[in-house]
Chain A
Amino acid sequence: MLHDLAPQLFNGLVLGAFYAIVALGLSLIMNLTGTINMAHGSFMTLAGYLAYSLVLRGTSFWFALLAAPLIAVMVGVAVERTLVRPLYRREPFYSLLMTFGLSLIAEEAFRLIWGANGVPFSPPAALAGTVSLGFMSFPVFRIFIAVVLIIAIAALAFFLTRTRYGLRLRAAVQDTEMIAALGTNTQVLYAVNFGLGIFLAGIAGVLAAAMLGLSSTSGNALLMPAFVTVIIGGMGSLFGSVIGGLLIGLTISMTTLFIPAASEVSMYILMAIVLMVRPRGLFGEEGIFG
């Protein structure tokens, strides 16, 4: 049993890293404006499809990994300006509904553009294959995902703590009116924040498309775990999203080891427990959502 444990633990952490990237994007968008983005999965799928199309036209995987999320960001910023912004003054419930509707449109649009069947997309040859870790053979690509996450977190942390704009963003989360009064263009701020969240979604989307399958309904499967991660990690805390993601990854892999039937439900149960015992989540801030 013990030598089953090590692979599952390691696998769970890497899986958790993936959920963490998705949750981070979601959390960023939620923290500043209270927007609950049910279309986050759709943006992920969009980036995946864009990467697929780019690679099909001959670009390298690496180029697509950066370009596809950027294109998704452009779409995201357009969406933010036209559809999301009018809802900022309203309760979060409205953004949830509106983005839900958006995800329905997106799914059908994907079907129209890229066809109803899934499309083949895989990691580049350099990242294919496994590496021997002693206690198990592990896919190189998953290690790559973990590396990407570390880079993403480091970059985000740097941006938020060391750059002036990042500072303004954090200030805006605490008090948007004040930061506006002090002269920051909040409209641009909203767009940048949303764009940042979508960028993370895009990266996660390309990685997911390579690791899992890619079809018009791909986004749905990853949306719920992302929300659960944000809840557990704590609304209002980016650090919480990372920890939450790792926790979910570990939970799923551990329950798979001991009670496989419960592994997908386990995260909902965990969420329910956290919501009842400590609704702001592990690292969340009190009072954000009542």
Chain B
Amino acid sequence: MTRRSINRRTFVTLAGAGTAAAFGIPAYLPRIGEAADTIKIGLVEPYTGTYAALAENETRGYEMAVDAWNKRGGVMGRKIELVKEDVQADPGVGAQKARKLVDQDKVVALAGTVSSAVSLSIGGVSNSLGTLFMDSGGHSDAVTGASCHWNVFRTCHSTWMETHATGNFLAKRFGKKWYLITPDYAFGHALEEGFKDVLGKIGGQIVGDALTPLGTTDFSSYLTKIDAVKPDAIIVLVQGEDYTNCLKQMAQFGLLKKYPVGGPQVELEPVLSLPPAARGGYWGVEWYYKSELTLGKNNKQAQQFVADTIKRYGQPPTARNCFGYVTGDRLIATMAEAKTTDSTKLARAIEGTRFTSIFNGSAYYRKEDHQLMWPMWIGKITEEGAGGDKFNLFDILDTEPADAIEQSVAEKEKVCKLGYP
């Protein structure tokens, strides 16, 4: 039954020719839009997969920073250019793309990521290539801990910071008997350890710990156990899509109204995908676009940033935009100040240098582990956007300063050896 009009032979020949052409593409298609004498920064983000939304926002932050600098004439007379690669949340692909960016595109620095696994893999590759890597979005402690490198810097808060920012607040507000819903893998366990540390110091207790294995979409089996133990608060450690699933189901089981709910961290993106009935609780917030506590009083740069983002992209910036912007801005600023694109010199220049940006107060990348020391905030999720702004879903309540929430220099030095060349 041949309905096909092209006969097989023709098909094969065409396909063969097509493949040959496809291989030639890299030779005769210079990367579109690349100008010759720009300073290139390699942006490695997961543009496909579950993190795509976060990657998009981080990228927008970077773009705003780069555009702002290019408007001012660039750095050392040259414009900055972002070269983007999709790492697909796969460490193997991340390693390959990182190498491509450094060897083929000749980027002076790598930046980005959302997934910690990719951060760690790119950290290793960039280290072997001697290129700077600014991890704006991967939270695992290891990035500034056991797997730290002289060329790796991290902007977003570490897992330890998240638990220690929220732990004390939640205990003080609701009580010390907690029921944890923990994703049963490395990240979840790291959060668990952090909270255990906090509870240990204040005499609290974990009355139940639901370890939800990889791939749990249905949390009902865990939620039905909660009434039996009557905790002071339910602490939700799951992230991303699991977070959305879990909160929706908690609302359906009536738990959101019955018990206080909280957790180490939440981002605006998943909250936006929650129906109003499932919005609630107290969470760690890494940055927020509409609060004096996060932006500071009369912080012109911050206000400009928020306004520009809304104008350009139609929605306000999230913490991811912030990560991208702060990282990009700091990187380029350092290049301008130190008048160099050499990775070692840049690393030395970035570490320890205090700066102000689109958040309240000043911050610096700590010399010993390259973690950005800036505060975290506690926010309450409101059901409807306050003041008619459908994005305004957080009510920021409290600030937690960096030094109080991250591990001390002494503790970090035990595990982190930067290894400058």
Contact = CB atoms under 8 A, between A and B. Distances in A.
B220 A217 contact: no
Interface in A164-220: 211-218
Contact of A212 (B49, B210, B248): B248
B254 A137 contact: yes
Contacts of A262: 213
B320 to A, nearest CB: 11
A111 B252 CA distance: 27
Contacts of A3: 228
A222 B245 CA distance: 13
Given A120-B275, A260-B212, A263-B221, 14 more contacts: A3-B228, A15-B221, A116-B53, A116-B55, A116-B56, A128-B252, A130-B254, A136-B227, A141-B252, A215-B273, A216-B52, A218-B241, A221-B215, A256-B222
Given A12-B221, A256-B221, A261 B213 contact: yes
A79 B231 CA distance: 51
A122 interface: yes
Contacts of B274: 120
Interface in A119-142: 119-123, 128-130, 136-139, 141-142
B362 interface: no
Interface of A: 3-4, 7-8, 11-12, 15, 108, 111, 115-123, 128-130, 136-139, 141-142, 211-218, 221-222, 252-253, 256-257, 260-265
A16 to B, nearest CB: 11
Contacts of B249: 139, 211-212
A158 B99 CA distance: 61
B48 interface: yes
Contacts of B304: none
5 contacts: A117-B273, A118-B244, A118-B273, A130-B254, A257-B221
Contacts of A218: 241
B224 A7 contact: yes
B215 A8 contact: no
A260 B56 contact: no
Interface of B: 48-50, 52-53, 55-56, 184, 210-218, 220-222, 224-225, 227-228, 241, 244-245, 248-249, 251-254, 269-270, 272-278
Contacts of B184: 260-261
Given A118-B270, A217-B49, A128 B221 contact: no
A276 B276 CA distance: 47
Contact of B273 (A120, A222, A261, A264): A120
Nearest to A115: B53
A120 B390 CA distance: 13
B213 A265 contact: yes
B238 to A, nearest CB: 11
B217 A117 contact: no
A137 B56 CA distance: 40
Nearest to A264: B213
Contact of A11 (B211, B213, B224, B245): B224
Contacts of B225: 4, 257
Contact of A260 (B49, B211, B251): B211
Contacts of B213: 260-265
B306 to A, nearest CB: 19
A122 B273 CA distance: 10
Contacts of B53: 115-118
Contacts of B251: 128
